[in-house]
């Protein structure tokens, strides 16, 4: 689960980098983040940094009876939201006090609401995080020059994570199948508010970091009925999906003008072998997945897709498959293969999480996992280690040798 600025290999073309940067880390999972300041990253590097997210991104969450909470970043990478569009208008949330406070923390360099331990962009200084002297976007340059916390334009990146409906019940995300049909009115109310108040300036519409765009009857219907005229500046419609319901038949039900906007896609897979796929993508079938990936790969080769990525949440039962996962991405025309550290969203008790979380130093196979991070297949330009980047850097062979000498 997660939405959209991405960390891209240097070999990506500038257009792909732009698509990747537009597409961010949107998550509808639940995590009570502890306060954490990112000053250490800047002090260590001795640089003044800038993050575009609070000035461009609008991520709306929801599930069950609680819907509309809004963030300017992947919610588990920060310590507070900026409000709720269930309670206020888009403009009131977008330029409200919480949003202004967040932007101030970027402009003054404290990044006090950010979690460097989880944010891959702060770890790598990539995607939306840049050195101030490297910022070139005219709107962002004006914000820096004028020290603006009230943004004179609407959200540019709309991340839709307000419907948890999905055809799978992956253990890292949920304990059972969720289909939010009983919350139809609340979901459609948020959709309409975004259409009426937020989409006029949007360049990116991201569906979805909370469920599946085809598994949700509401997101699927939206794809089948949305009008290009209601989002005149939209450049990219980014679909984040498990891929199993992305069939030629369902694809054909989406109007051609909407399909043409689907320029980016992220497929959550979590495995490269049938057994681990059956466990990690509960309810899915690996052979079906391979057929869907072949179809989606053809959309990348022939259009309209211009960017394609597959994701793996790394854990005990799949970390040895990481090289195979890279090859799975290569076979299916992927621009990036991303590996995330496993986070407990409340679906595991402490004992089960500890047994699965191989990235933690106390795990009995942690040293094997570190060796995998530094193996030759993971040096491939396709690979993005996301929020495993800092762990890999801290445990690089040269670092370990220096520590022992």
**pLDDT for 35-44, tens place per residue?**
333 344 444 4
DSSP string, 108-150: TT--TTB-TTT-HHHHHT-TTEEEGGG---HHHHHHHHHT-SS
This prediction's pTM: 0.86
Average pLDDT of every residue of the chain: 88
Q: Is the pLDDT of residue 401 over 60?
A: no
CB proximity list for 37: less than 8 A, separation 6 or greater:
110, 111, 112, 114, 116
Q: Is the pLDDT of residue 148 over 60?
A: yes
What residues does 336 pair with on adjacent strands?
309
Q: Is the pLDDT of residue 24 over 70?
A: no
E strands of 128-263, at which residues? 129-131, 157-161, 204-207, 236-241
Q: How many residues does the chain have?
A: 405
CB proximity list for 63: less than 8 A, separation 6 or greater:
28, 162, 163, 164, 178, 180, 210
pLDDT tier at 398, thresholds 50, 70, 90: low
Q: Mean pLDDT throughout 198-217?
A: 96
Q: Is the pLDDT of residue 337 over 70?
A: yes
Q: Mean pLDDT throughout 151-171?
A: 97
| % of the chain residues with pLDDT over 70 | 87
């Amino acid at each position: 689960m997660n939405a959209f600025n991405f960390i891209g290999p240097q070999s990506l073309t500038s257009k792909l980098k732009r698509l990747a940067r537009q597409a961010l880390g949107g998550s509808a999972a639940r995590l009570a983040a502890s306060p954490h300041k990112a000053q250490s990253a800047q002090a260590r590097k001795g640089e003044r940094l800038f993050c575009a997210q609070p000035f461009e991104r609008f991520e709306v969450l929801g599930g069950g009876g609680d819907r509309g909470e809004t963030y300017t970043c992947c919610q588990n990478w920060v310590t507070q939201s900026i409000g709720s569009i269930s309670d206020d208008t888009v403009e009131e949330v977008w330029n409200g006090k919480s949003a202004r406070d967040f932007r101030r923390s970027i402009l003054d360099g404290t990044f006090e609401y950010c979690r460097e331990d989880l944010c891959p962009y702060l770890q790598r200084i990539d995607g939306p995080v840049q050195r101030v002297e490297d910022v070139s976007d005219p709107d962002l340059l004006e914000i820096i020059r004028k020290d603006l916390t009230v943004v004179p334009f609407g959200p540019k990146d709309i991340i839709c994570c307000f419907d948890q409906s999905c055809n799978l019940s992956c253990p890292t995300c949920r304990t059972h199948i969720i289909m939010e049909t009983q919350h139809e009115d609340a979901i459609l109310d948020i959709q309409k508010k975004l259409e009426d108040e937020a989409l006029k300036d949007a360049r990116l519409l991201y569906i979805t970091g909370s469920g599946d765009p085809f598994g949700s009857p509401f997101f699927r219907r939206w794809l089948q009925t949305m009008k290009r005229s209601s989002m005149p500046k939209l450049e990219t419609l980014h679909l984040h999906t498990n891929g199993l319901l992305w069939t030629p038949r369902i694809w054909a039900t989406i109007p051609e003008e909407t399909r043409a906007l689907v320029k980016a896609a992220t497929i959550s897979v979590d495995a490269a072998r049938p057994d681990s796929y059956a466990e990690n993508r509960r309810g899915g079938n690996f052979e079906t997945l391979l057929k869907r990936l072949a179809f989606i790969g053809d959309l990348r080769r022939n259009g309209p897709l211009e960017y394609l990525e597959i994701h793996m949440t790394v854990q005990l039962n799949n970390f040895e498959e990481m090289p195979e996962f890279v090859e799975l991405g290569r076979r299916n025309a992927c621009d990036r293969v991303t590996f995330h550290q496993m986070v407990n969203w409340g679906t595991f008790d402490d004992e089960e999480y500890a047994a699965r979380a191989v990235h933690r130093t106390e795990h009995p196979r942690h040293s094997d996992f570190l060796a995998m991070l530094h193996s030759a297949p993971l040096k491939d330009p396709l690979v993005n280690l996301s929020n495993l980047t800092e762990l890999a850097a801290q445990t690089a062979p040269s670092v370990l040798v220096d520590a022992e000498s």
